[in-house]
Amino acid sequence: MEHGFTTWKDIIVVLVNILGVAAIIIAVRSYRLKQKSNYFQVVNNLVNKYQDNFLAQNNFDNETRKKFIDFVNEELFYIQYGYVPLPIAVEWIDGMLDILPVINNGKQYFTNPNSLFNSKIEDDILKTYPRVKRALSITSIKDPVDLTINSSIALRKEVVSEVIGNIFNSKKMKKRAKNEMNKIHF
């Protein structure tokens, strides 16, 4: 068996193979960079939208409440379809718990006594946004509890993990979210 190049054709075949592999590597790298750019753009747009519409609010009137639920629905959509990296999703869900109630067996419980929502979310709004209702429907909390105090950190992590699991309808994602929560220092 001979080794090496015997004709120009052999050299060209090897060069074409090398160029093909290089093109695939460049395409994969470009795809990953584009994906990170998309992450950044989605996250940046949502952060700007939050800051422009909700950051300066001291209390949510009915119109602001509806806008906020719509905004949360949009965030959950981007989280669900992978446009928001999991560490950021975990932070956002954690922040949502300071404003929105969680739902257990049809009852709504606020986890922050100082929530900007001054009353429960109306059923007709929840029917309009089933993604929000599904995400906030949890089993971790059966009674009102203040998740803003230090003694509730473990339960807060459990609730955030459960919400993430609900968004993806996946126990695996719930576990990944719990691991992300363990990286966060309160």
pTM across the whole model = 0.75
Let me know: does 146 contact 152? Beta carbons within 8 Å: yes
Residue 137 forms beta bridges with which residues? 103
- What size, in residues, is the chain? 186
CA–CA distance, 43 with 52 (Å, rounded to integer): 14
Helix (H) or strand (E) holding 54: none
CA Rg, the chain, in Å? 24
pLDDT in tens, 7-46: 888 888 888 888 888 889 888 888 877 777 777 888 899 9
Spell out the domain ranges in the chain. 1-39, 54-183
